[in-house]
Structures are given as C-alpha cells and as structure tokens.
Amino acid sequence: MDGNDEPILGHTKLDILKQARPAFFNPAMLPWTPWVMEGTNFKLLNFDKKTGGFTILLKVDPDLDTPVHSHLGAVEGIVLEGEFGYDDDRGGVGSYFYEEAATRHQPDSPTGTIMFAVVHGPIVGHDEDGGVAGVVDARLMYELAAANGAADHLAHLADFPS
C-alpha cells in the first residue's frame, strides 16, 4: 500500500436495494379479530405458508380457563401488557419468552395480557381426552383475519391452494 490507496471499505460501492413494500406497518390500523377461544383476540402481522407459522399481537382477557395446547414449532415473543405464564415460569411487561417446539402446556393469565408473538409452526389445541380439538396454522389465521377485514395488508401472500 503506497498510502494513496483508498481504505478497503471505500472500494465497496453497493446499490441500495429498496424493498417493494414498506417495511413498517402500524397494527393500530387493524381491528382485533376474535381467536379460537372466547376471550382471546389477535392482529395478524405476518404468516409463513411453508411452516404454517404466523406473527401476531395476541390479547387475552383476564382469568380465562385455557385449554392444554401443543406447539409443533417454537413460539417466541415479548409481553406488552399484563403477565402470563405456566405455573411458576412467568413473565410481565417487557419479558421475552421462548416456548420450545413440542412443548405441551396450559397457560394462565390472571391479569390478562397483550403479547407480540412469532409462532414458528402450528398450534394444536387439545380436548379433555387429550385428542386434537383444533389446529391453528397460517391458513386459519389468515382466513379468520380476512373474514374480519383485517388482512388486506397480507393478501399478496395468501395464494393458498383452493
């Protein structure tokens, strides 16, 4: 190097590649959509057809009698209001949570809660005999939100088989 060379980083000229759609979206624009059990509502922010996963804001009323459910993929998120948990494993506002794939459990939330959650695979709800009461996947979430007029921002992703 003779001292006149530009710094290595200075040689790299990269074009800015702007995404086709805005990166930002304000979920306050969306109505809450009733979820699969009474007292729970969601706003669908994104979904993944390949995994069946989805990203939501979830609002849970206080003291619901929630069913046991299993996770086919992990779930991670942040508690935004209230608190919830599983026995003594609990978190309040600002807590990050990670629920492992293949977990089966029954949450409770005496205060009610609002959380941001990234659900990496379908959720299976169980009946009292341990059977499958329902499967919540990306398609169901989209269909519920769309029926409530709360999925226009995701219509470009919704080419599900019909």
Instruction: Work out how close the CB of 146 gets to Fe ion at its nearest, in angstroms, rounded to a whole number.
Output: 24
Question: Mind giving me the DSSP string for the chain?
Answer: --S-SPPHHHH--------SS-S---GGGSPPEE-SSTTEEEEEEEEETTTTEEEEEEEE-TT--PPPEEESS-EEEEEEEE-EEETTEEE-TT-EEEE-TT-EE--B-TT-EEEEEEE-S-EEEE-TTSSEEEEE-HHHHHHHHHHTT--GGGGGG-----
Residue with token string 């930002």: 24
| Residue with Cβ nearer Fe ion (66 or 111) | 66
What's the distance, Cα to Cα, between the start and end of the chain in Å?
A: 63
The residue nearest Fe ion at its CB is 99
| Residue with Cβ nearer Fe ion (25 or 98) | 98
Let me know: does 142 contact 75? Beta carbons within 8 Å: no
| Residue with Cβ nearer Fe ion (115 or 151) | 115
Instruction: Work out how close the CB of 11 gets to Fe ion at its nearest, in angstroms, rounded to a whole number.
Output: 50
Instruction: Work out how close the CB of 10 gets to Fe ion at its nearest, in angstroms, rounded to a whole number.
Output: 50
Instruction: Work out how close the CB of 112 gets to Fe ion at its nearest, in angstroms, rounded to a whole number.
Output: 16
In the complex, which residues of this chain contact Fe ion (CB under 5 A)?
99
| Residue with Cβ nearer Fe ion (15 or 128) | 128
Instruction: Work out how close the CB of 19 gets to Fe ion at its nearest, in angstroms, rounded to a whole number.
Output: 32
Distance between CA atoms of residues 126 and 134, nearest Å = 7
| Residue with Cβ nearer Fe ion (73 or 151) | 73
